Amino acid sequence: MIENRLPRGSFLILTLIVVKTFLQFLNILPLIALLVYSPFVQDAQAQKNNTLSPYVQKGYLTFELKPMGSREHPLILRTFAPTMALPKNEVLPNHSRGLPSPKYSPSSGKEATKQYQPIDGIPAAIAVNLGKPLSYVWDTTECRLLYAWTDGFLDMKNYWGTRESGRRKGFGYVPRLYGFVFYKALGKHPLSIDGKSISDLDAPIYSGYSIDSDRLPVYEYQSGEHNISLKIQPGPSTQTLRLEFSTTEKEALQFSSPTTQVETISKIPGKLTVVIRPNAGEQFSSDEKKEIIKEPTQEIGEKLYTSLGCIACHSLDGGKNHGPTLKGSFGSKREFLSGASLVVDEAYIRESIENPMAKTVKGYLTGMMPPYKLEQAEYDSLILFIKSVR
Amino acid sequence: MKKILSLFLCLSSSLSGSVNSYTVENIAFPNDMPPEVGGLAFDEKGYLYACLRRGDVVIAKPGKDPKATKWEVFATGLHNPMGMILIKPGHIIVSQMAELTEIIDTDQDGKADRYNNLSTDFGISGNYHETNAICPDGNGGYYIALGTASHNGPTFHTPRGEYSKEGRRGRNFSSNQLRGWIVHYEKNGKLSPFASGFRMHNGITRSPDGEIWSGDNQGDWRGGSPIYNVRPGSFNGHPSSLVWDPDLKNFGTPIFLPRKMLDDLHNQPSVQLTRKTMSSCGEPFIIKSENFGPFNGQMLVPDENGRRINRIMMEKVDGAWQGASTLFLNTEELRAGGVRIAMDAPGKSIYYASTARGWQRPDEGIQRITYNGNTPFHVKDFKLTTQGFEIWFTEPIQDPEKLAEKISVRSFRFEYGYRYGSSEKDKKEHKILSSNGNESFEISIEGMEAGRIYELEFSSKLLSLKGEKMDDPQIQYTLNRLKRPSSTHRTSLIKSKDGIEVNVAGKFFAKYNFDKLSQPIIWPIQGPGNIRMLRDYPFKKDTTGEAKDHPHHRGIFIGHQVMSGAGFWHNQFKTSGTVEHLKVIESRSGEDRALIKTLNAWKDSEGKTIGADTRTMTFGGDDVARYLDLEINMHATNQDLVFEEFKDGFVGIRTHPDLRLTPSPKYGVNKVFGNARNSVGGEGKKIWGKRADWVHYYGTIEGKEAGIAFFSHPSNLAQKGERSWWHARDYGLISANPFAPTKLGGDGKHTIKKGQSLKLRYRFVFHSGSKDDAGIEERFADYAKDPGYPTSIMPPHPGYPEEYLSKKSK
């Protein structure tokens, strides 16, 4: 059972098994079982760890949008990661460069002079959280620690969306970092082997990682002829990091990073342990700033059309897609699967956004669109925008 | 109770078919676990592995009671894993957003502790839409399907893998290395491109016969939801990914390639599913069980957006796969968002995984679909015949002699182009001419044409002997190719490095050489009775009795004296351009005809690409003749293609010297045995410079009666109502020229505008025997009626932004 992930021998597990077996015996749905025992688990766990993250309790990712691990149960998350304004040329030399691209109309096949702009994001990173004391992002493309922080991890809401809607934020879905960033990669790759920075060798090749007895990932990568491994742990004091490098051929290893205090803990051929101290200090709130709309406008509606993802299914140019086009929709007649019909008005648009299951337009599938619970001004802005699409 | 109920329903015949033959159960997950299943596989001990899109891989042994399913976490830390293959318990291969990963539980404690990166040699743009899926290659390696990005999302400033500005353009796009491809990861760790042209091929399967199948989603360049038989090197219709094809790198932005060029490159889908049955294809699944109802060996495809599973019946016709589709299960009991299917060891149940987070209302989980032993009344198999279709039912039917009255047939086509999806175009109703059979039924249908989708609908009057009606009583058949008549002159191809040899009835007929003296050439050609048909010179210089004039007359060759400033007729001058063979688009054989289709670049004397052609050559034969059909499509890829008016062009053949009309003692041709005529009664030397449907050279070759006829298809470019102009000489050169000088009675200069194409069709008939035995007139009449290979309905070229945007600003 999943619950085996809990610390072995704890009183909790016994209680859980008893409770769960009892419930199963009664043939009650797991849903009810969870409702019954969740608060109990959370209380016990909270007392012990001072954390409530279901990930730590259950050992699996839940619908929680701000999952956290712990020292005993590190959370390893492969995901898009924020760039955190890292200097691209020095720190991300093995990534390519995205460029602006002309906007495109899928129904005319023509391009416009306006352009799509790239956004910030690291495509192939590994994010790790050990609870409040440490989070870090290690990148498989650069084979390098990119940044580390405390007191938080990643807010996945813009990427995973809520349980009900699963809605990604249109052009801003890179998970949001929250907490206190104390380390950021600067300059060339900090590792030198036999006196040569590995930045000067061919692009490093990520080989994989092992989970060691501390349940921590130990990364392995190749650079030139060298096979390197790296374990990242919290340092001896808060906002420090302990990095253990080793190589298979007993090379001389050195770690250096501009404007970063590095303490060498041990150094023998093929092994290097350092502690690095903070070189940054930036606080990122755990709450996303929400813009308050003073007055609904068509422009805000247009932005919402993109950011809420309406754009994926409803075209503006009459083009066919999963949902009806918005072009000329306002005031037009709609026929529904039920056989009923009506003329599109504000109330119908509002209902279609808030409760899309209420009516399904003929020729389309029922249940494709998730419900959108928005602010009044957001509904109004969207309605203004939809009215404007003639 | 349930059984009794369904039996009652069957008897009352108010409801029946698949829904009553399969039970659907929900496999339980903890309420707080998001069961967004991306990959699904059983191990040998009956444990089901499921990879979940947020990153966990969980394992359970589903028992009799699906509510009692207990999941354990096996692995974690994966980004949108959508493909999984089980090597052995505790050892899996997963495709995820950023890599192909091997996951192992090395200490066998039930939890994975080793994550090996097998490959990251493909791009990630940062766009949310880039799906992944894998299937085994049968040799310890894998095929990975790499989805494209969507213009409804951005790319990153710092993507991984090479970035292409040209690949970034369009609706769904391939901004980064190999997106929109299927790549091949070999056991030795090497990753290579395998097939291009995909949009969102969220699912890939290898069938037991070693074929690779991939679904794709309706969208841009997808009229319906297609299922492709993925041939190595094939282009599967969606152009953006072509930026990563080195053969196409000199033709400009892929989404602006001439429409007909894309259509010719396109590996037509074996089956197109329509909106009525499929919104977007999940992963194809091949039934390998006799215990799951009467459909062993057929393919099931779940719908990523709907509560339904399609069933596909494939067959090989004219050397390639195509087939029929119908709904297998269509019930509100199913979750929407079906993406993967796995079968348990007893083979009585399939596990149907669904996820929809990110593209529609989440509807996630695993359902078990079990056959309850009640044979569903439906179509068991469906095949094309030369006259119509042959149908097998799962149960005997009532009043089989009245079957034809209970079937209606219609057909339509889908558009191929940049627009999102296609409505049904060019719709037709078809009469059923006859119906015969008892166990299987052959129905003959009026108006069978290639390039259409046929839909048969059974009326509610069709009942099984037990009185059952059919659920979802429609069958659709994607008719890419008509069924060929059976023939004793079967064809085969022998491929080599420098070309392809064609055999008819086991005898050598022709060789297509990729490069002979500056262009692809067909040479030699042996007619029936092994009669040599072409001059050997300039390829062989020691054949006796051959004149060594005009060394640019090379077997069968294609070119024009001046096209856009370069010469393509002669190959010996400084101004001569070259035609470079880029790739074989497709080759197939086995039935009465063989096909070779190639892509070629037309380059000027400095090596600059000015245009392209796609040419389809079809080879076949009978007792007295061999034929070669040439369809050449010239594409103005890089600029307007201007064919200046000159007599030397366009498709030429240099015959065996014995067919010459006049000797040439100066060149060692002392005696000739040839005569010539054309379709309008012209004879001998006088047919030069005349218009005709065909010309025919005949006589004796090396003592045997033989001849060569050369047809120009009536659809070819010519002044209104006119026939082809012939550059047909007395010394063995024959060419059909649509660009001959007007003062010689030709059609004059012709320009193909940039982005457009020109199609030309010719047939050569190489016969033994006398001119009358060859039946040239009848053969031409047949050819004139032959519609050739279908061209898709395509929206017009949208124009080039550098042109319409600059006009706008003026």
**How high is the mean pLDDT in each 10-residue block of chain B (810 residues)?**
41 50 97 97 96 98 97 98 97 98 97 98 97 97 98 96 98 98 97 98 97 96 97 98 97 98 98 95 98 98 96 97 97 95 97 93 95 96 98 97 96 96 96 94 97 98 95 97 94 97 98 96 97 97 91 97 96 94 96 97 97 98 97 98 97 97 89 96 97 98 97 90 95 97 96 98 98 96 97 97 80
In the numeric block, which tokens belong to residue B730?
A: 């007395």
Indicate which of B29, B32, B218 best probes the interface with A, i.e. most A CBs within 10 Å of its own CB.
B32
Judge whether B91 is closer than 8 Å to chain A, CB to CB: no
For position B18, what pLDDT does the model report?
67
Distances (CA, A) of A141 to A77, A122, A203, A253: 16, 9, 8, 21
Q: Identify all chain A residues contacting B115, using CB atoms and an 8 Å cutoff.
A: 208-210, 217
Amino acid at B384: L
3-state SS track over B667-680: HCECCCCEEEEECC
- The 8-class DSSP code of residue B704 comes to E
Q: What is the mean pLDDT of residues A15-40?
A: 40
Q: Are residues B641 and B688 in the same domain?
A: yes
- Check A98 against B155: CB less than 8 A apart: yes
Query: Whole-angstrom Cα distance, residue B361 to residue B383?
Result: 38
For position A371, what pLDDT does the model report?
76
In a domain, residue B232? The reply is: no
Q: Express as a percent the part of chain A with pLDDT over 90.
A: 57
Q: Are residues B398 and B427 in the same domain?
A: yes
Domains of chain B: total: 2
Q: Are residues B578 and B472 in the same domain?
A: no
* Predicted confidence (pLDDT) per residue in A236-271, tens digit: 999 999 999 999 999 999 999 888 899 999 999 999
When CB atoms are compared, the residue of A59, A79, A161 closest to B79 is A79
In a domain, residue B91? The reply is: no
Judge whether A62 is closer than 8 Å to chain B, CB to CB: yes
**Average model confidence (pLDDT) for chain A?**
86
Q: Are residues B396 and B509 in the same domain?
A: no
Judge whether B417 is closer than 8 Å to chain A, CB to CB: yes
* Predicted confidence (pLDDT) per residue in A284-325, tens digit: 998 877 778 888 888 888 888 877 778 878 888 887 778 888
3 state SS of A311: helix
In the numeric block, which tokens belong to residue B127?
A: 């766009």
Q: Are residues B529 and B644 in the same domain?
A: yes
CB atoms within 10 A of CB B190: 11
Q: Are residues B672 and B718 in the same domain?
A: yes
When CB atoms are compared, the residue of B97, B157, B305 closest to A322 is B305
CATH number for B471: 2.60.40.1220
In a domain, residue B213? The reply is: no
Give every CB contact of residue A185 below 8 A, 6+ residues apart in sequence. Answer: A86, A91, A144, A145, A146, A147, A257
Q: Are residues B470 and B496 in the same domain?
A: no
For position B147, what pLDDT does the model report?
98
Judge whether A107 is closer than 8 Å to chain B, CB to CB: yes
> Does an H or E element contain A387, and which?
helix A376-388
For position A287, what pLDDT does the model report?
85
Residue-number span of the structural domain to which B741 is assigned: 491-785
- pLDDT category of residue A12 using cuts at 50, 70 and 90: very low
For position A29, what pLDDT does the model report?
37
- Check A311 against B358: CB less than 8 A apart: no
> Does an H or E element contain B242, and which?
none
- Check A78 against B795: CB less than 8 A apart: no
**Nearest residue of B to residue A93, measured between CA atoms:** B158
Cβ(B586)–Cβ(B500) below 8 Å:
no
Cβ(A159)–Cβ(B126) below 8 Å:
no
When CB atoms are compared, the residue of A34, A109, A161 closest to B30 is A34
- Check B158 against A95: CB less than 8 A apart: yes
The pairs formed by B444-447 with CB atoms below 8 angstroms and a separation of 24 or more are: B444/B385, B444/B387, B444/B388, B445/B387, B445/B388, B445/B389, B445/B409, B447/B411
Query: Whole-angstrom Cα distance, residue B685 to residue B673?
Result: 14
Judge whether B161 is closer than 8 Å to chain A, CB to CB: yes
For position B15, what pLDDT does the model report?
39
Judge whether A21 is closer than 8 Å to chain B, CB to CB: no
Q: Are residues B434 and B469 in the same domain?
A: yes
Rounded to the nearest angstrom, the minimum Cα separation between A2 and chain B is: 5
In a domain, residue B777? The reply is: yes
Indicate which of A2, A78, A206, A215 best probes the interface with B, i.e. most B CBs within 10 Å of its own CB.
A78
In the numeric block, which tokens belong to residue B614?
A: 């796609």
- Check B67 against A166: CB less than 8 A apart: no
- Check B117 against A140: CB less than 8 A apart: yes
- Check B362 against A315: CB less than 8 A apart: no
Residues 266-325 in B contacting A (C-alpha not used; CB under 8 Å): 275, 279, 305-306
Q: Are residues B418 and B525 in the same domain?
A: no
Judge whether A102 is closer than 8 Å to chain B, CB to CB: yes
For position A52, what pLDDT does the model report?
66
Instruction: Look at residue A368 and tell me whether its pLDDT is greater than 80.
Output: no
Query: Whole-angstrom Cα distance, residue B463 to residue B475?
Result: 16
Indicate which of A35, A61, A308 best probes the interface with B, i.e. most B CBs within 10 Å of its own CB.
A61
For position A113, what pLDDT does the model report?
93
Among B422, B454, B479, residue at a domain's last position = B479
Cβ(B499)–Cβ(B621) below 8 Å:
no
Among B427, B457, B479, residue at a domain's last position = B479
Judge whether A170 is closer than 8 Å to chain B, CB to CB: yes
Give every CB contact of residue A211 below 8 A, 6+ residues apart in sequence. Answer: A217, A218, B111, B112, B113, B114
In a domain, residue B654? The reply is: yes
In a domain, residue B735? The reply is: yes
3-state SS track over B307-335: CEEEEEEEEEECCEEEEEEEEEEECCCCC
For position A318, what pLDDT does the model report?
82
In a domain, residue B151? The reply is: no
For position A357, what pLDDT does the model report?
82
Instruction: Provide CATH 1.10.760.10 ranges for chain A.
Output: 298-388
For position A135, what pLDDT does the model report?
98
When CB atoms are compared, the residue of B76, B363, B417 closest to A76 is B76
Q: Are residues B537 and B653 in the same domain?
A: yes
**Nearest residue of A to residue B106, measured between CA atoms:** A210
Cβ(A230)–Cβ(A276) below 8 Å:
no
CB atoms within 10 A of CB A7: 12
Rounded to the nearest angstrom, the minimum Cα separation between B63 and chain A is: 14
Cβ(A234)–Cβ(A216) below 8 Å:
no
Give the angle B544-B550-B554 at the CA atoms, nearest 5°: 80
A298-388 maps to which CATH number?
1.10.760.10
Q: Are residues B511 and B387 in the same domain?
A: no
Among B452, B479, B506, residue at a domain's last position = B479
CATH number for B742: 2.70.98
Query: Whole-angstrom Cα distance, residue B150 to residue A321?
Result: 13
- The 8-class DSSP code of residue B486 comes to P
In a domain, residue B759? The reply is: yes
For position A302, what pLDDT does the model report?
86
Q: How many helices (H) and strands (E) does chain A have?
A: 8, 21
Q: Are residues B507 and B451 in the same domain?
A: no
Judge whether A118 is closer than 8 Å to chain B, CB to CB: yes
Judge whether A138 is closer than 8 Å to chain B, CB to CB: no
Query: Which of A60-74, A129-143, A314-328, B49-63 has the least mean pLDDT?
Result: A314-328
Judge whether A362 is closer than 8 Å to chain B, CB to CB: no
Distances (CA, A) of B17 to B136, B335, B377, B397: 34, 20, 5, 13
Judge whether A339 is closer than 8 Å to chain B, CB to CB: no
- The 8-class DSSP code of residue B420 comes to B
For position B806, what pLDDT does the model report?
86
